Amino acid sequence: MKRSYSKYSAKDDLLWLILRPWIFIPRVLYILLTFIFLFLRILFQGNSKNKNVQKNLSKYLFDVITDLGPCFIKLGQALSTRPDLVRQDWLTELTKLQDNLPAFDHKIALNIIEEELGSPANELFEEFPDIPIASASLGQVYKAKLNNSYLAVKVQRPNLYFLIKRDIVILRFLGTFLSPLLPLNIGVGIGEIIDEFGKALFDEIDYQKEAENALRFANLFKENPNIFIPKLEKQFSSKRVITTSWIDGVKLRDRALLEANNLIPASFIKTCVISGLQQLFEFGYFHADPHPGNMFALKGGNADCGNLAYVDFGMMDTITNSDRLTLIKAIVHIINEEYYLLAEDFQKLGFLTKEQDLQKLVEPLKEVLGGSFGAEVGNFNLKNVTDKFSKLMYSYPFRVPSRFALIIRAVVSQEGLALRLDPEFKILKIAYPYIAKKLLTDNSEEILDILLEVVFDKKGQIQIEKVESLLNILFKDSENINSDLIPVANAGLKLFVSKKGSEVRKNLLLSLIKDEKLEFTDAKKLLSLIRDTFSPLNIAKSAVQNIISTT
């Protein structure tokens, strides 16, 4: 009999559990006691220099999270991607949460396959193994064979709907109850954040929903030669079983493992981060669970951009067009060190209330983010910003809007993954040039409006220093000059002569008039900047590089 799952509902599910005190009360007590014992053990042993003590403590941490079940394993997976937050010896153990958990009984898996697909596994596939090749928080994966090709068959863990429903309700109950004790004002909206997490988990256990997500994600990246999405096998997929083509790659878990397979870690970091930025800033649809167990390095590609495969599309989310554009503006305002405008962006996104006096935030934001692309860019990562923001959030009413919970989880996980492969990785070194290139090559109306804000001030005058900053970010190293110069030049020329470019042409003409007189100083500076950036030598370099990259 095929099952249908209802959607997550905070009120209805809380009522459901309260009416079952024999489930609710023992489970709450068990969770609280478990965390109290874990806290005490970390308190007394966490700073020990003894390797055996730390090894046993990391094993205990893994066992505690595993024993608590799927909801807590998902939270532990997020921790397992952060080498800057978790000790290396603990991290090694926590990494097992990604796809190396204890498997459930093979006979149960076979029964689920037969219930869901209508026939036994040995009749559906030419070969079906007796043990799974990987076991994760919500299911386990088998490597089956059909028509001389290998398939990944993921079977859902039994009783998952009940376990998640029970624990999400309890997490919300405990989170709301303990919210006044939580730091960084995160307790303000902790209930809503857990609701978002609950909705995502309920979607994730519906494999038919995951199948739709996989098809949508594949369509978004169909023109990208560096991103590979496994093919969905619809005839072998249902609510609790999903089957795709097999990915023959190396998990993005360990730098040494990639190098041992003659793969260049830096190339996959760039592909990973750029694809993540595309999901947020171009598609508005993103993979919210990008941990190393869900991403594979593939052969091919080049030293600049490696070939990358995404798997597991259960936890996906969208970002509204308004939020997407505001985030782009926020990054531009950080680049230009416009902290009042940045505070307005935070307010529009919901991180600040409408009543907040934004002028009071200018200096604190400058202290936290000032020079992020200048002298301090070598030290800039999300961990550093979080550490600085922690002080700011005690003094000002910052809060995390619930709709950003999965976005933050995805970005933090992705940066953590990059840090595992390269401890010196700095996200802004990739993010800033990406945004700069998008502003200079994307001729959509909304991006053009943002570009005009950068190029011209409110009086219509050219802001030479900001244009120069934008070009410097994109072209300050030879690698970016070679790959991006011609696309930017082409896009700029097309924009200038197009209908959309009428606003640009008008503002350029108005910028020549100051105090009712013609003033060519800024125009000369702009022409000089364009001439130096798009010199014949640089154009030739770009042309040669493009020829090399396509051969």
Active-site residue list: 289
- Phi and psi based region of residue 391 (left: phi greater than 0; alpha: psi -120 to 50; beta: remaining): alpha
Torsion of CA 90, 96, 102, 107, to 10 degrees: 180
Which H or E run contains 316?
strand 316-318
User: For residue 441, which of 281, 320, 286, 270 has the smallest C-alpha distance?
Assistant: 281
Positive/negative CA dihedral, 323, 329, 332, 336: negative
Distance CA 530, CA 510 (A): 19
Distance CA 358, CA 1 (A): 58
Other C-beta atoms within 10 Å of 412: how many?
18
Distance CA 523, CA 315 (A): 50
Other C-beta atoms within 10 Å of 35: how many?
14
Q: Is 141 helix (H, G, I), strand (E, B) or coil?
A: strand
Tokens of 460: 């219509």
Q: Is 443 helix (H, G, I), strand (E, B) or coil?
A: coil
User: For residue 70, which of 101, 43, 30, 109 has the smallest C-alpha distance?
Assistant: 101
Q: Is 192 helix (H, G, I), strand (E, B) or coil?
A: helix
Contacts of residue 402, Cβ cutoff 8 Å, sequence gap at least 6: 189, 192, 193, 195, 196
User: For residue 57, which of 30, 38, 70 has the smallest C-alpha distance?
Assistant: 38
How far from the centroid of its chain's Cα atoms is residue 160's Cα?
25
Distances (CA, A) of 161 to 5, 97, 327, 356, 490: 7, 20, 35, 42, 53
Strand arrangement, sheet containing 227-228: 227-228, 307-310, 295-298, 250-251
Contacts of residue 470, Cβ cutoff 8 Å, sequence gap at least 6: 335, 436, 439, 440, 454
> What are φ and ψ of residue 97, in 5° steps?
-65, -20
Distance CA 519, CA 512 (A): 5
Q: What is the CA radius of gyration of the chain?
A: 26
Q: Is 232 helix (H, G, I), strand (E, B) or coil?
A: strand
Complete DSSP assignment for 101-154: SPPPPHHHHHHHHHHHHSS-HHHHSSB--SS-SEE-SSEEEEEEEETTEEEEEE
Distance CA 206, CA 239 (A): 5
End-to-end Cα, the chain, rounded Å = 54
* Single-letter amino acid, residue 435: I
